[in-house]
Amino acid sequence: MDAREAMAAARRITALTGAGVSTDSGIPDFRGPSGPRPSPDREPTPDDYLAKPAVRRAVWQARLRSPVWAAVPNAAHRALVELERAGRLRALLTQNVDGLHQRAGSAAVVELHGSLSGTVCAVCGAPGSMAAALERVRAGERDPRCRLCGGVLRSTALAFGQPVDPEVLRAARAAAVDCDLVLVAGTSLLVEPAAGLVALAARAGAAVVICNAEPTPCDGSAAAVVRGPVGRSLPELAAVPVAVSAPVRTWGDPSTW
Protein backbone atom coordinates (compact mmCIF):
# COMPACT_ATOMS: atom_id res chain seq x y z
CA MET A 1 0.00 0.00 0.00
CA ASP A 2 1.36 3.43 -0.88
CA ALA A 3 0.59 6.67 0.95
CA ARG A 4 -2.15 7.78 -1.45
CA GLU A 5 -3.93 4.44 -1.18
CA ALA A 6 -3.75 4.62 2.61
CA MET A 7 -5.20 8.13 2.58
CA ALA A 8 -8.00 7.13 0.21
CA ALA A 9 -9.02 4.38 2.63
CA ALA A 10 -9.01 6.65 5.70
CA ARG A 11 -12.14 8.23 7.12
CA ARG A 12 -10.93 9.05 10.64
CA ILE A 13 -7.41 10.49 10.70
CA THR A 14 -5.24 11.49 13.64
CA ALA A 15 -2.20 13.58 12.72
CA LEU A 16 1.03 13.71 14.72
CA THR A 17 3.34 16.59 13.83
CA GLY A 18 6.81 17.70 14.80
CA ALA A 19 9.29 20.46 14.11
CA GLY A 20 9.68 19.57 10.43
CA VAL A 21 6.20 20.95 9.78
CA SER A 22 7.32 24.45 10.81
CA THR A 23 10.70 24.69 9.09
CA ASP A 24 9.13 26.24 5.98
CA SER A 25 7.82 28.95 8.31
CA GLY A 26 11.38 29.87 9.28
CA ILE A 27 11.50 28.06 12.61
CA PRO A 28 14.55 25.81 13.15
CA ASP A 29 13.74 22.16 13.70
CA PHE A 30 15.36 21.99 17.13
CA ARG A 31 13.81 24.20 19.74
CA GLY A 32 12.34 24.35 23.21
CA PRO A 33 10.53 26.42 25.83
CA SER A 34 12.74 29.49 25.37
CA GLY A 35 12.53 29.35 21.60
CA PRO A 36 14.99 28.03 19.04
CA ARG A 37 18.30 26.82 20.37
CA PRO A 38 21.33 25.07 18.88
CA SER A 39 21.70 22.28 21.43
CA PRO A 40 19.84 20.68 24.35
CA ASP A 41 23.03 21.09 26.37
CA ARG A 42 22.45 24.84 26.32
CA GLU A 43 18.85 24.70 27.47
CA PRO A 44 18.78 25.58 31.19
CA THR A 45 17.24 23.05 33.51
CA PRO A 46 13.98 24.00 35.25
CA ASP A 47 15.86 24.15 38.57
CA ASP A 48 18.50 26.52 37.16
CA TYR A 49 15.79 28.71 35.67
CA LEU A 50 13.99 29.01 39.00
CA ALA A 51 17.13 29.53 41.10
CA LYS A 52 19.33 31.80 38.98
CA PRO A 53 18.22 35.32 37.97
CA ALA A 54 21.03 35.52 35.38
CA VAL A 55 19.68 32.41 33.66
CA ARG A 56 16.17 33.85 33.58
CA ARG A 57 17.39 37.15 32.14
CA ALA A 58 19.20 35.31 29.36
CA VAL A 59 16.13 33.19 28.62
CA TRP A 60 13.88 36.24 28.41
CA GLN A 61 16.25 37.82 25.89
CA ALA A 62 16.24 34.59 23.87
CA ARG A 63 12.45 34.62 23.89
CA LEU A 64 12.47 38.16 22.52
CA ARG A 65 14.66 37.06 19.61
CA SER A 66 12.65 33.94 18.81
CA PRO A 67 11.60 33.63 15.14
CA VAL A 68 8.30 32.15 16.34
CA TRP A 69 6.72 35.58 16.73
CA ALA A 70 7.22 36.54 13.07
CA ALA A 71 6.44 33.09 11.64
CA VAL A 72 3.31 32.43 9.61
CA PRO A 73 1.65 29.08 8.80
CA ASN A 74 2.86 27.31 5.67
CA ALA A 75 1.40 24.84 3.18
CA ALA A 76 1.76 21.90 5.57
CA HIS A 77 -0.28 23.64 8.26
CA ARG A 78 -2.94 24.64 5.75
CA ALA A 79 -3.18 21.10 4.36
CA LEU A 80 -4.11 19.77 7.80
CA VAL A 81 -6.73 22.51 8.15
CA GLU A 82 -8.33 21.34 4.91
CA LEU A 83 -8.40 17.74 6.14
CA GLU A 84 -10.12 18.87 9.32
CA ARG A 85 -12.68 20.96 7.44
CA ALA A 86 -13.44 17.95 5.25
CA GLY A 87 -14.40 16.05 8.40
CA ARG A 88 -11.61 13.49 8.08
CA LEU A 89 -8.98 14.81 10.51
CA ARG A 90 -10.39 14.24 14.00
CA ALA A 91 -7.34 15.19 16.11
CA LEU A 92 -4.01 16.92 15.57
CA LEU A 93 -1.35 15.93 18.08
CA THR A 94 1.70 18.18 17.91
CA GLN A 95 5.11 18.28 19.52
CA ASN A 96 5.44 21.89 18.39
CA VAL A 97 5.09 24.82 20.76
CA ASP A 98 4.79 27.58 18.14
CA GLY A 99 0.98 27.74 17.85
CA LEU A 100 1.08 27.76 14.05
CA HIS A 101 -1.50 25.00 13.69
CA GLN A 102 -4.05 27.12 15.56
CA ARG A 103 -3.08 30.25 13.63
CA ALA A 104 -3.64 28.34 10.39
CA GLY A 105 -7.17 27.45 11.54
CA SER A 106 -6.87 23.98 13.09
CA ALA A 107 -9.25 23.49 16.02
CA ALA A 108 -8.66 19.93 17.24
CA VAL A 109 -5.08 20.54 18.41
CA VAL A 110 -3.48 18.69 21.33
CA GLU A 111 -0.17 20.32 22.29
CA LEU A 112 1.98 17.55 23.75
CA HIS A 113 4.79 19.88 24.79
CA GLY A 114 2.74 22.91 25.74
CA SER A 115 2.84 26.32 24.11
CA LEU A 116 5.13 29.34 23.94
CA SER A 117 2.11 31.64 23.96
CA GLY A 118 1.50 31.50 27.71
CA THR A 119 3.18 31.96 31.07
CA VAL A 120 2.46 30.48 34.48
CA CYS A 121 3.66 31.59 37.90
CA ALA A 122 5.91 28.99 39.50
CA VAL A 123 4.57 29.96 42.95
CA CYS A 124 0.84 30.62 42.74
CA GLY A 125 0.09 29.07 39.34
CA ALA A 126 -1.50 32.21 37.89
CA PRO A 127 -1.69 32.02 34.08
CA GLY A 128 -0.63 34.86 31.83
CA SER A 129 0.22 35.90 28.31
CA MET A 130 3.73 35.50 26.94
CA ALA A 131 3.12 38.52 24.69
CA ALA A 132 2.32 40.66 27.74
CA ALA A 133 5.40 39.41 29.58
CA LEU A 134 7.62 40.16 26.59
CA GLU A 135 6.22 43.69 26.42
CA ARG A 136 7.40 44.15 30.00
CA VAL A 137 10.86 42.92 29.00
CA ARG A 138 10.95 45.39 26.11
CA ALA A 139 9.97 48.12 28.56
CA GLY A 140 13.00 47.35 30.73
CA GLU A 141 12.00 44.53 33.09
CA ARG A 142 14.82 42.04 32.68
CA ASP A 143 13.13 39.34 34.78
CA PRO A 144 9.35 39.98 34.88
CA ARG A 145 7.57 38.50 37.89
CA CYS A 146 4.01 37.46 38.68
CA ARG A 147 1.76 40.49 39.20
CA LEU A 148 -0.13 38.68 41.96
CA CYS A 149 2.58 37.22 44.19
CA GLY A 150 5.97 38.18 42.76
CA GLY A 151 6.82 34.60 41.80
CA VAL A 152 8.98 33.53 38.86
CA LEU A 153 7.18 33.36 35.50
CA ARG A 154 7.71 30.21 33.43
CA SER A 155 6.70 29.49 29.86
CA THR A 156 3.82 27.09 29.38
CA ALA A 157 6.05 25.17 26.95
CA LEU A 158 7.72 22.17 28.53
CA ALA A 159 11.43 22.21 29.28
CA PHE A 160 13.60 19.15 28.70
CA GLY A 161 12.81 16.54 31.29
CA GLN A 162 9.40 17.92 32.25
CA PRO A 163 6.60 15.35 32.01
CA VAL A 164 3.66 15.74 29.67
CA ASP A 165 0.51 16.87 31.46
CA PRO A 166 -1.56 13.76 32.34
CA GLU A 167 -4.75 15.21 30.85
CA VAL A 168 -2.94 16.07 27.62
CA LEU A 169 -1.48 12.57 27.44
CA ARG A 170 -4.90 11.05 28.09
CA ALA A 171 -6.41 13.07 25.21
CA ALA A 172 -3.55 12.08 22.91
CA ARG A 173 -3.95 8.39 23.69
CA ALA A 174 -7.69 8.59 23.10
CA ALA A 175 -7.06 10.17 19.69
CA ALA A 176 -4.48 7.51 18.85
CA VAL A 177 -6.93 4.65 19.31
CA ASP A 178 -9.93 6.46 17.77
CA CYS A 179 -8.69 6.57 14.18
CA ASP A 180 -8.18 4.39 11.15
CA LEU A 181 -5.00 6.19 10.07
CA VAL A 182 -2.20 8.05 11.85
CA LEU A 183 -0.56 10.65 9.63
CA VAL A 184 2.91 11.40 11.02
CA ALA A 185 4.60 14.53 9.67
CA GLY A 186 7.91 16.21 10.39
CA THR A 187 8.98 14.26 13.45
CA SER A 188 11.81 11.79 14.02
CA LEU A 189 9.70 9.88 16.59
CA LEU A 190 12.72 9.68 18.89
CA VAL A 191 11.01 11.38 21.84
CA GLU A 192 8.20 10.01 23.95
CA PRO A 193 5.27 10.08 24.02
CA ALA A 194 5.23 10.49 20.23
CA ALA A 195 6.69 7.09 19.34
CA GLY A 196 4.48 5.35 21.87
CA LEU A 197 1.37 7.00 20.44
CA VAL A 198 2.16 5.68 16.96
CA ALA A 199 2.69 2.18 18.34
CA LEU A 200 -0.56 2.43 20.32
CA ALA A 201 -2.52 3.41 17.22
CA ALA A 202 -1.01 0.58 15.21
CA ARG A 203 -1.93 -1.96 17.88
CA ALA A 204 -5.49 -0.65 17.81
CA GLY A 205 -5.69 -1.32 14.07
CA ALA A 206 -4.79 2.01 12.48
CA ALA A 207 -2.62 2.30 9.39
CA VAL A 208 0.46 4.51 9.81
CA VAL A 209 1.73 6.91 7.14
CA ILE A 210 5.00 8.70 7.90
CA CYS A 211 6.10 11.86 6.07
CA ASN A 212 9.57 12.91 7.17
CA ALA A 213 12.87 13.95 5.65
CA GLU A 214 14.83 11.40 7.68
CA PRO A 215 14.18 7.78 8.72
CA THR A 216 12.28 7.12 11.95
CA PRO A 217 12.21 4.09 14.27
CA CYS A 218 8.61 3.42 13.20
CA ASP A 219 9.25 3.25 9.44
CA GLY A 220 9.36 -0.54 9.41
CA SER A 221 5.85 -0.89 10.79
CA ALA A 222 4.30 1.89 8.68
CA ALA A 223 1.89 1.22 5.83
CA ALA A 224 3.73 3.87 3.82
CA VAL A 225 6.71 6.21 4.21
CA VAL A 226 7.13 9.44 2.24
CA ARG A 227 10.59 11.02 2.17
CA GLY A 228 11.06 14.72 1.51
CA PRO A 229 9.77 18.10 2.69
CA VAL A 230 6.40 17.86 4.41
CA GLY A 231 5.47 21.20 2.87
CA ARG A 232 5.14 19.29 -0.39
CA SER A 233 3.97 15.85 0.73
CA LEU A 234 1.21 16.92 3.14
CA PRO A 235 -0.73 19.05 0.63
CA GLU A 236 -0.52 16.21 -1.89
CA LEU A 237 -1.84 13.64 0.57
CA ALA A 238 -4.52 15.94 1.96
CA ALA A 239 -5.88 16.36 -1.57
CA VAL A 240 -6.53 12.61 -1.91
CA PRO A 241 -10.30 12.07 -1.55
CA VAL A 242 -11.70 9.23 0.50
CA ALA A 243 -12.65 6.27 -1.67
CA VAL A 244 -16.37 5.61 -1.88
CA SER A 245 -15.70 1.96 -1.11
CA ALA A 246 -13.44 2.68 1.87
CA PRO A 247 -14.56 0.47 4.77
CA VAL A 248 -15.48 1.83 8.16
CA ARG A 249 -12.66 0.39 10.25
CA THR A 250 -12.80 -0.90 13.77
CA TRP A 251 -10.13 -0.15 16.34
CA GLY A 252 -9.05 -3.59 17.44
CA ASP A 253 -9.27 -5.30 20.78
CA PRO A 254 -9.15 -2.68 23.59
CA SER A 255 -7.26 -5.16 25.77
CA THR A 256 -4.27 -4.78 23.41
CA TRP A 257 -4.11 -0.99 23.68
Query: How far apart are alpha carbons 202 and 193 in whole angstroms?
Result: 14
DSSP the chain: --HHHHHHT-SSEEEEE-GGGTGGGT--SSEETTEE-S-GGGSPPHHHHHH-HHHHHHHHHHHHH-GGGG----HHHHHHHHHHHTT-EEEEEE---S-HHHHHT--SEEETTEEEEEEEETTT--EEEHHHHHHHHHTT-SS-B-TTT-PBEEEEEPPTTPPPPHHHHHHHHHHHHS-SEEEEES----STTHHHHHHHHHHTT-EEEEEESS--TTGGG-SEEEES-HHHHHHHHHTSPPPTT--------GGG-
| Residue 149, marked binder | yes
Q: Are 151 and 121 in contact (CB under 8 A)?
A: yes
Query: How far apart are alpha carbons 11 and 149 in whole angstroms?
Result: 49
Question: Would residue 77 show up in a list of annotated catalytic residues for this protein?
Answer: no
| Residue 218, marked binder | no
Q: Are 89 and 179 in contact (CB under 8 A)?
A: no
| Residue 211, marked binder | no
Q: Are 202 and 34 in contact (CB under 8 A)?
A: no
Catalytic residue among 31, 63, 101, 113: 113
Residues designated catalytic? 113
Binding residues for Zn(2+), by number, are 121, 124, 146, 149
Which residue positions form the known binding site?
121, 124, 146, 149
